[in-house]
Chains A and B, each alone.
Chain A
Amino acid sequence: MKNSIQRMGNITIVGLKAISRNKLRSFLTALGIIIGVGCVIAVVAIGNGATKSVENTINSLGTNYIMVFPGASTSGGARMFTGNSALTPEDAEGIKQECPAVSYVSPTVRTAAQVVAGELNWGTSIQGASTDYPLIRSWNVAQGTFFTDADVKAAAKVCVVGSTVVDNLFPNADAIGQIVRIKNVPFRVVGVLEKKGGNMMGQDQDDTIIAPYTTVMKRLSGKTKLDMIQVSAASADQVQEAQNQVDAYLRQRHRIPPGGDADFQMRSQEEIAQTQAASMGILRNLLLAIAAVSLFVGGIGIMNIMLVSVTERTREIGIRMAIGAKGRHVMLQFLFEAVTLAIVGGVIGVGMGVGASVLVARFLKWPIIVTPTSILMSFGVAAAVGIFFGFYPARKAARLDPIDALRYE
């Protein structure tokens, strides 16, 4: 027993020496596993991070959040999404007044523009909203004030800006009271929004300017319809009720018969979360499938090289057998080589995967979550790949006839 344990140790050393004798080849052999394991680690880390990020942003919308946006419309019998919105500021006003389960409503219009302040300019998105917006999104101003209902009524040329816009337009100065020119229209900055970070799509939510929707419609976009109505239910329990009320109210206003196609759609925070989770899940499964394929290819690479190695080292196998190696000793040696290659590949792969995740996190501003489970799993899979794909070549080596092996040129 003691002898066989010692012999195992000896054979392990033999295998290690064979690997270190062929460093470049060993590395190339392990490369498939390195890439495969790296992919798994990175995908899982990024996937977990993205899921977390989605949860965060969706939760930051507030559990009461409901989005009403234009839907398919029927014109002359042809049903299609025309891109022409049927939602008007009056719809929004009506929702607020007629739907008891709704507490806040903000008409929303969006446009994008190059914004100029002094010498500097910055391309950003412009959102038109009402004074309910900060209440709906639970997004307050850090400095100054939000614009007022009077500003909205008067279509005043005032705005609040996100922190990214401040960083780019007023790097050294206080933004409050400054003038920014949006499409040549001067707007006075009255407030700076709190920093909110990236959203689930990796977009920087702080890279925005919010102005009264009336001003944006009149002065910037020239639109008369809304891009969206953002609604907040009175409480989390009343989301469904609020949706029903908004639906009934808008159908009535837009004269849509019961059962007819509505010219608007609604999404609650929960529905958005589900859609996002589903698409994230698909993306993650896709990437995991790619990672699995590359692990498989890596395994085939190991098998290939081990087969070459067995053929190339037939003589060596013959020598070892002649001087007393049993079939299983030779088998263990080659199996150990394959598993070591796979596990070393796994270790390097974990390092590369974590590195890649960190890079992705930096560029996409996603949080990454490297879990011990994914690392352990990758190791396990790498070792299993080594055993699985190393088995056939190792058995081939073990079954060689010593006489033929010694004679092999």
Chain B
Amino acid sequence: MAKPVIEIRDLTKVYKMGDFEVRALNGVNLTVDTGEFVAIMGPSGSGKSTLMNILGCLDRPTAGTYLLDDVDVSQLDRDERAVIRNAKIGFVFQSFNLLARTSAVENTELPLLYGEFGWARAQRRKAAMDALHRVGLQGREQNQPSQLSGGQQQRVAIARALVTNPAILLADEPTGNLDSQTSEEIMGIFQALNDEGKTVVLITHEPDIAEHAKRIVHVRDGVIQQDQRIAQRRAAAAKRAAS
């Protein structure tokens, strides 16, 4: 029996805009077990982004509890959340968000500079290299983002997310800026990582991307509308070869 890595109970997020109150999340309950591949879907304004921000410990809920890897992270302050993000969460963003004029391996190393790792330079470098190799970027370690294709940049971002060995990979529209073939490649990487046991949470609004997951959660109007498990996930067309 897999143990839960994410447990959300009655999660509410209210934004105050002057006299108005916007209830972005209105009592969300969600459990994600270790090794799952969950896609969170929903139209814009559904509360999907708010949920993703809270899942990623970028924001905290107005009410409700959020246990991440058995730690209650729902009421942590800024700095404590930074530590949790560093240790437990690997982010992959739509726009890659790599540092410009910084090599792939240095971008990958970045999270190791901030955490409680206490690793020597060589150890960090090795971890970054390993992560880059896991996403199929052998030979591109010294390339800067401007010298890499979109797909390769997203692979660097995935390597950066992996390097700390986080509890979850949190991917926010990771294929939004990529063509369909490259999207397939990226989804292939996520699937392969999931096969190796990584928990992946994917936020997307594209159904055919969501179909790569094993479970699709539909969010609408701040609540979970539908939670379906996919018996046969869609296999990514391309495998993990370097492109």
Contacts and interface: CB of A to CB of B under 8 A. Distances in A.
Given A322-B58, A324-B83, A403-B53, A14 B78 contact: no
A326 B110 contact: no
B233 interface: no
Nearest to A402: B58
Contacts, number: 65
Contacts of B153: none
A262 interface: no
Interface in A162-219: none
B113 A321 contact: no
A17 B114 contact: no
Interface stretch (B62-70, B115-123, B130-138, B190-198): B115-123
Interface string A310-328: 0000011011111111111
Contacts of A2: 118
Interface stretch (A3-11, A45-53, A376-384): A3-11
Interface string B88-131: 00010100011101100000001101111110000000000000
8 contacts: A21-B101, A319-B97, A319-B110, A320-B114, A322-B93, A323-B114, A324-B164, A403-B53
A406 interface: yes
Nearest to B49: A403
Contact of B160 (A17, A316, A323, A326): A323
Contact of A325 (B56, B101, B114, B160): B114
Contacts of A325: 82, 114
A343 B235 CA distance: 57
A316 to B, nearest CB: 6
A365 interface: no
A327 B78 contact: yes
A138 B124 CA distance: 76
Contacts of B102: 17
A138 to B, nearest CB: 69
Given A21-B101, A403-B53, A403-B58, A322 B91 contact: yes
- Per DSSP, chain A at the interface is helix
B129 to A, nearest CB: 18
Contacts of B86: 323-324
Contact of B110 (A6, A7, A320, A406): A320
B56 A322 contact: yes
Interface string A149-160: 000000000000
A324 B99 contact: no
B79 interface: yes
B58 A327 contact: no
A194 to B, nearest CB: 66
A315 B160 CA distance: 16
A122 B149 CA distance: 77
A10 B56 CA distance: 24
